[in-house]
Copies of this chain bind each other. A is one copy, B any other.
Amino acid sequence: MKQLALSKVYQLLEPGPVVLLTTARKGRDNVMTMSWHMMVEFTPPLVACIVSSADHSYAALRATKECVIAIPAVKLAQKVVAIGNASGRDVDKFKTVGLTKVPARAVAAPLIAECFANLECRVVDTRLTNKYSLFILEVVKAWIDPRQKNPRTIHHQGYGRFAVDGRTITIRSKMP
């Protein structure tokens, strides 16, 4: 994996792909599927996300204030759903689903080798966590897999139905 400039992180999350979120606590790693996230600031990149208190990852995220957002291409869709359907309370999802952990640089949560991008994050604001399970994260390090060219991401429409990225259009714009 190759480092990605933090100023480019928004280009990965702004399109709204389904992502995976990893945490590590007391020597136990976990991974969940997440679709409720958005960019908050370009640089340093801030991201908001919802991790429900019903999710096993919630306690780890609150306690350690660290996580990794890993972005899967469509070829991982079956694994993404399998992760969404299981709980880290019961099983080690990295093993049951078959994903490869790679140590991160700045956080204890692991990167996922099969994902085309991995974002190491720290929780920087929890003011809305009690009420909405909303966390503000800062991306402190970003990685990209240069071997995965033009990865197509998936976008959840509910009940296991996903839109896959199709054609790309470019329209002259003044916006970043």
Whether B171 and A162, one on each chain, are in contact in the complex, defined by CB atoms closer than 8 angstroms, is: yes
A164: interface (CB < 8 Å)? yes
- In the assembly, how many copies of this chain are there? 2
CA distance A131 to B153 in the complex (A): 31
The size of the chain A interface, using a CB distance under 8 A, is 57
A48 touching B41 in the complex, CB below 8 Å, given contacts A161-B170, A176-B159 = no
Q: Note all chain B residues with C-beta closer than 8 A to A15.
A: 16, 35, 155-157, 163
Closest to A81 in B: B171
CA distance A101 to B81 in the complex (A): 40
5 CB-based A-B contacts, threshold 8 Å: A11-B157, A48-B134, A128-B128, A155-B165, A158-B176
